[in-house]
Amino acid sequence: MTTRNVRIVRLAAPLILSMAGCTGSDQSPQAPAATDAGGCGWSAFMDAVAAAPGNHRVLLENDRVRVLEVTVNPGEREPLHAHCLPGVEYAMSGASIGTMAARANCYRKARTRPNRFPMTSWSEPGPPFSYENLDTKPMHMLRVELKR
């Protein structure tokens, strides 16, 4: 899957899952709230570092950028979280992953192992999601988020 396709799938996942029947009343913590983190419409406690601290570690933060180290170990599912800032993702190693969407408890297993690593891609802010590592090796990346 190309970088462009990964971005399209990530942005379109909630729509695709809702069309597949993954809808329902969403009164859970991942629903949009007035307390916004970064202007994306999701509450601050859904920020990746707050919601999934075991998978997201801040390496550097100032008034211009936040650099995160992201790791999802084999067999692990990271907590549902959102990224409210645009940025660059530098995947150093990949794995086959499953994705869980923000609405209801929709889960989709996807074998998304790009052919080459390292791999760099652009990422826009998006709704909450979660990855599950279905592989025997860790998924490891750096995410450089640009502050406005």
List, in sequence order, every residue forming a beta bridge with 97; answer none if it has no partner: 110, 133
CATH of the domain at 134: 2.60.120.10
The CA distance from 89 to 24, in Å, is: 31
At residue 111, the pLDDT reads 55
The CA distance from 148 to 134, in Å, is: 35
Whether residue 41 is contained in a domain is answered as: no
> What's 116's DSSP letter?
S
Q: pLDDT-derived band of residue 31, with 50, 70 and 90 as boundaries?
A: very low
- Kindly report the number of other CB atoms within 10 A of residue 56's CB atom: 22
Q: How many CA atoms lie within 13 A of 9 on its CB side?
A: 13
Of 148, 147, 141, 146, the closest CA to residue 6 belongs to: 141
The CA distance from 72 to 17, in Å, is: 23
Whether residue 126 is contained in a domain is answered as: yes
Whether residue 94 is contained in a domain is answered as: yes
Instruction: Give the 3-state DSSP-derived string for 27-95, with helices as H, strands as E and coil as C.
Output: CCCCCCCCCECCCCCCEHHHEHHHHCCCCEEEEEECCCEEEEEEEECCCCECCCEEECCCEEEEEEECC
Whether residue 29 is contained in a domain is answered as: no
At residue 118, the pLDDT reads 87
Whether residue 135 is contained in a domain is answered as: yes
Whether residue 36 is contained in a domain is answered as: no
Give the domain extent around 130: 3-18+55-146
Q: Which residue has the higher pLDDT, 115 or 21?
A: 115
Contact 72, 81 (CB under 8 A): no
Number of compact structural domains in the chain: 1
The CA distance from 79 to 126, in Å, is: 15
The CA distance from 148 to 142, in Å, is: 19
Segment 74-107, tens digit of pLDDT: 999 999 999 999 999 998 887 777 777 665 556 6
